[in-house]
Structure 1
Amino acid sequence: MKPTLPQGTRDFSAEVVRKRNYIFSTIRTVFELYGFQPLETPAMENLDTLMGKYGEEGDKLIFKILNNGLDNPAKHAQAKDDFEKILQGKNTKELTERALRYDLTIPFARYVATNYGQLTLPFKRYQIQPVWRADRPQKGRYREFYQCDADIVGSNSLLNEVELTNIYYTVFKRLGIDVEIRINSRKILAALAELCGGADKMMHITVAIDKLDKIGMEKVKEELSQRGLNAAQITTIENYLLIEGNNEEKLSALKKLLGHLDTGKKGIEEIEYIFNYLPSSFSNGYLDELTTDFTLARGLNYYTGIIFEVKAKGVKIGSIGGGGRYDDLTGLFGVPNVPGVGISFGVDRIYDVMEELKRFPGEVQIGTKVLFFNLGEAESKVAFSLMQQLRDKGVAAEIFHENSKFDKQFKYADKKGIPYAVIIGSKELQQENCVLKDLSKGEQWILNQQELLKYNF
């Protein structure tokens, strides 16, 4: 039988892994530059930690793990009943007590709540790990994929939002991707709900306008009507969504619509703070990439302040980053009133954007830099010794595994993208030198062995 992969999972070749590692390394370097510390949490969490944190639909997508010991015959009858409960969407500790993590945010909140007394606040962490969703696999949607998050907890300061905005700008500049960083505030959306009848309208409004890009204005208005909003309220929301112009013009229009409400005024002040606080070193072109987007809602209910979304310019793809302010996520675990703000990078989409725009540097694919040809036992012993000395100097090198024809060894170097070959035959062995070939340029030199060890590969 031909072996297959589980649906929604992928193998990554060396070429893909190197490109993905380039993205991870770039992001990780910037996180460290801004004072964030690495954190890793287990692949599995207790089921109670995850259930009820992602809404009804999210709970259905959590991968549950069966308990050990189900092969005990005495448990078979009970296990059958437990399976029936699981199929009905219920849970039973006799069958499953753990699950694969659904995202990095809830495990992080659990970590903070567990270790709150020992943390140096504000606590700045980044996390790059795989997560799992029992989702229906389709193009661009997988059951196993990486998330890449940075969060700051224990501080209400909007300086954190400024820092995270700068992190987005810096990372995508280093990756060579032109982006639009969109910001809004959930306080502005809360003020809109207040203007349209009260806080109980907030969920209906945000869920509907979050779909604006996908379904268009008329369908959004239909959905708002179906959710119980009247014609006047829908007109108010439409006027809000139609605000346009540059950032200053949009904020001016928003002040006229919502500025008389305390919540709206606070949300507008938050956005103005970020624009006014950006360092002058980023001013040249930076403000062109940062834009207010009042249609931005982000569906997750735990966001309470500034929210972010990043889109790549010049490609038709969804957001490649997003996040926002949340002020009581750890309250889910008995540690209330711990403010936080975080962002996430969509690594799979970033990879697709970089492939489409051809932004990966050529040197990303170079693993081994030097291949020593194998031309006999005595020759290979000398080659092996030189190879080890190059490795000690940090040069990635290997020797061909057997004495073979030149053509076979050249083909190996070509297929692996190795840029240099070192050839030591009987003549070179006698003269204690070697032939160094630059395979990309088709040039070669004769060097003595000490010169080879000093060569700048």
Structure 2
Amino acid sequence: MASKPSIPKGTRDFSPTEVAKRQYIIQIIKSNFEKFGFQPIETPSFENSETLMGKYGEEGDRLIFKILNSGDYLAKANTTHLENKDSTKLTSSISEKALRYDLTVPFARYVVQHQNDIEFPFKRYQIQPVWRADRPQKGRFREFFQCDADVVGSKSLWQEVELVQLYDTVFTALGLEGVTVKINNRKILSGIAEVIGASDKLIDFTVALDKLDKIGEDGVKKEMIEKGISEEAIIKVQPLFSFTGTISEKINQLSVLLAESQEGLKGVEELRFICDNVTALGLSTAILDLDVTLARGLNYYTGAIFEVAPPKSVSMGSIGGGGRYDDLTGIFGLKNMSGVGISFGLDRIYLVVEELNLFPDTVTATSKALFINYGEKEAFYAMKAIKELRNSGAKVELYPDNAKMAKQFQHADNRNIPFAVIVGDQEMVSNTFSLKNLSTGEQVSLDFEGLKKALI
């Protein structure tokens, strides 16, 4: 007996109901992207390895899915590395392509490759799947969708202000009240590292700090020590673990802490501009919060960084994030092209909306009516009506087989189809249709116009 087929861990099949709910979220995100002036692009699911590798830090590189070369992938393998079983060094000779890890680096490649055809500032959005060789867990998958919006070609901080408003607009439309948009600035983190004498350990410092909500204060300190950051430096950074107050108060505290760092103070002023203007303009349901421990592990952020937390009633990781990258395209040869962008985590947003029961009933609505099949003549009579109803916008269908009535009605019930249309000899003679409400059992006889009115 053949074994039951399966799918790889960290991937999922989606039922019609799940797809409908996902498309509902995507449509809300997409429509608001377009309201804010973003235009759609798409890029390939896989890129040349050199495009992706080295762009996400050491941890990110380990999570990139590599694709073996076509055909005899060992033909170009380095024999020394193969004999020594050195998988790290061997990879580059047997794998020249990789699945994209995110949408931002491919977007940077796109901008450089098509720079002569793009009108700057360029506002793009992209809704496509990405892949990460991560350990699957709740809300974390190996294949998942990202919904990104980025602006390149402008250093204006008004872009950051608009992106916070975009988050607020989308989550308000989804009914997700109480979402927290956390903000920080990489210049502030650089300034803190400078002040505590750990500038040479900036990446290690920010990667560890970014894990505060996952491994706690003691865990962060332990990792910093393991990375070579001195205990004296960690003592100086202690105030970060208990930073409290309003956004304005936090900014003032940072001004004092970073008084000796020009880079840090620049970050403080950028934060002040963004936060002051977002506050003055107002948000509908989202909450803006300054989180000085927010680092995000990606190396390319240079200014504001964002992370979005779901309502506190839901146990879930971040459902969005992003930031400013001043020279991401520089890695592909196009210098001084500043950009800023944010991402919506579709899969986690789905789980949150589902847990809070916020999907409207209409999202999963199936056909409005099932025409019962009594035979070939009756089916043809029904199909003529079905064609006209569909042209008028109604969702209707014919049961394909002349099966027992009980089976056809059970099919409608299993599909949550609210009405059945009965067409027999009597209806064909009188040129009418019998419409049955499958919830109440009520049945009425209607002409075509009456049927159309009832089903549209």
Q: CA deviation at 1:369?
A: 2.0
SS in 1 for 2:374: coil
Aligned residue for 1:19?
Answer: 21
SS in 2 for 1:269: helix
For residues 80 and 386 of structure 1, do their structure 2 counterparts lie closer, same or farther at Cα, with a shift above 3 Å needed? farther
Aligned residue for 2:115?
Answer: 116
d(CA) in 1 for partners of 2:282 and 2:381?
A: 54
SS in 2 for 1:446: strand
Contact 1:183 1:309 in 2 (8 A): yes
Aligned residue for 2:220?
Answer: 220
Aligned residue for 1:197?
Answer: 197
Contact 2:42 2:128 in 1 (8 A): yes
SS in 2 for 1:421: strand
For residues 371 and 349 of structure 1, do their structure 2 counterparts lie closer, same or farther at Cα, with a shift above 3 Å needed? same
d(CA) in 2 for partners of 1:119 and 1:260?
A: 41
Greater mean deviation of Cα atoms: 115-124 or 422-431:
422-431
Aligned residue for 2:410?
Answer: 411
Equivalent runs, 1:368-387 vs 2, <5 Å? 368-387=367-386
d(CA) in 2 for partners of 1:56 and 1:244?
A: 32
Q: CA deviation at 1:83?
A: 8.5
Equivalent runs, 1:181-196 vs 2, <5 Å? 181-196=181-196
Aligned residue for 1:309?
Answer: 307
CA deviation profile, 1:366-393 (whole Å, cap 9, x unmatched): 1322211112322221111111111112
For residues 201 and 88 of structure 1, do their structure 2 counterparts lie closer, same or farther at Cα, with a shift above 3 Å needed? closer
Aligned residue for 1:324?
Answer: 323
AA aligned to 2:29 is I
For residues 352 and 129 of structure 1, do their structure 2 counterparts lie closer, same or farther at Cα, with a shift above 3 Å needed? same
d(CA) in 2 for partners of 1:33 and 1:234?
A: 45
SS in 1 for 2:302: strand
Q: How many residues align?
A: 451
d(CA) in 2 for partners of 1:304 and 1:51?
A: 19
Q: CA deviation at 1:441?
A: 4.9
SS in 2 for 1:304: coil
Does 1:266 find its partner at 2:266?
yes
Q: CA deviation at 1:166?
A: 0.9
CA deviation profile, 1:108-138 (whole Å, cap 9, x unmatched): 1110111112211111111111122233444
d(CA) in 2 for partners of 1:304 and 1:388?
A: 57
CA deviation profile, 1:333-387 (whole Å, cap 9, x unmatched): 1111110111111111111111211111111111322211112322221111111
Aligned residue for 1:293?
Answer: 291
d(CA) in 1 for partners of 2:75 and 2:322?
A: 46
Contact 1:83 1:95 in 2 (8 A): no
Does 1:390 find its partner at 2:378?
no
Equivalent runs, 1:15-414 vs 2, <5 Å? 15-70=17-72, 81=79, 84=82, 88-91=87-90, 95-178=94-177, 179-197=179-197, 199-259=199-259, 261-278=261-278, 282-283=282-283, 286=286, 289-313=287-311, 314-414=313-413
Q: CA deviation at 1:225?
A: 3.5
CA deviation profile, 1:40-73 (whole Å, cap 9, x unmatched): 1111211221222223333333222233332xxx
Q: CA deviation at 1:242?
A: 1.5
Contact 2:57 2:298 in 1 (8 A): no
SS in 1 for 2:34: helix
Contact 2:198 2:233 in 1 (8 A): no
For residues 281 and 219 of structure 1, do their structure 2 counterparts lie closer, same or farther at Cα, with a shift above 3 Å needed? closer
d(CA) in 2 for partners of 1:92 and 1:278?
A: 47
Q: CA deviation at 1:280?
A: 6.2
d(CA) in 2 for partners of 1:95 and 1:230?
A: 41
Contact 2:45 2:130 in 1 (8 A): yes
Q: CA deviation at 1:140?
A: 3.6
For residues 443 and 122 of structure 1, do their structure 2 counterparts lie closer, same or farther at Cα, with a shift above 3 Å needed? farther
Identity over aligned pairs, percent: 52
Contact 1:308 1:343 in 2 (8 A): yes
Q: CA deviation at 1:9?
A: 2.1
Greater mean deviation of Cα atoms: 44-53 or 92-101:
92-101
Contact 1:63 1:133 in 2 (8 A): yes
What 5-or-longer segments of structure 2 have no aligned partner? none
SS in 1 for 2:114: helix
AA aligned to 1:204 is D
d(CA) in 2 for partners of 1:256 and 1:81?
A: 58
Instruction: State the superposition RMSD in angstroms.
Output: 2.4
Contact 1:374 1:401 in 2 (8 A): yes
Contact 2:432 2:446 in 1 (8 A): yes
TM-score w.r.t. the length of structure 1 is 0.91
AA aligned to 1:318 is G
d(CA) in 2 for partners of 1:224 and 1:43?
A: 36
Aligned residue for 2:433?
Answer: 434
Contact 2:33 2:125 in 1 (8 A): yes
Q: CA deviation at 1:84?
A: 2.3
Q: CA deviation at 1:452?
A: 1.7
d(CA) in 2 for partners of 1:243 and 1:76?
A: 54
AA aligned to 2:199 is A
AA aligned to 1:302 is Y
d(CA) in 2 for partners of 1:207 and 1:69?
A: 39
Q: CA deviation at 1:271?
A: 1.9
TM-score w.r.t. the length of structure 2 is 0.92
Q: CA deviation at 1:186?
A: 1.0
For residues 104 and 285 of structure 1, do their structure 2 counterparts lie closer, same or farther at Cα, with a shift above 3 Å needed? closer
AA aligned to 1:453 is K
What 5-or-longer segments of structure 1 have no aligned partner? none
Q: CA deviation at 1:444?
A: 3.7
CA deviation profile, 1:298-328 (whole Å, cap 9, x unmatched): 1111111111111111111110111100111
For residues 227 and 81 of structure 1, do their structure 2 counterparts lie closer, same or farther at Cα, with a shift above 3 Å needed? closer
For residues 218 and 64 of structure 1, do their structure 2 counterparts lie closer, same or farther at Cα, with a shift above 3 Å needed? closer
Contact 2:369 2:455 in 1 (8 A): no
Aligned residue for 1:448?
Answer: 447
Contact 2:63 2:132 in 1 (8 A): yes
Greater mean deviation of Cα atoms: 160-169 or 79-88:
79-88
For residues 222 and 284 of structure 1, do their structure 2 counterparts lie closer, same or farther at Cα, with a shift above 3 Å needed? same
d(CA) in 2 for partners of 1:102 and 1:222?
A: 29
Aligned residue for 2:8?
Answer: 6
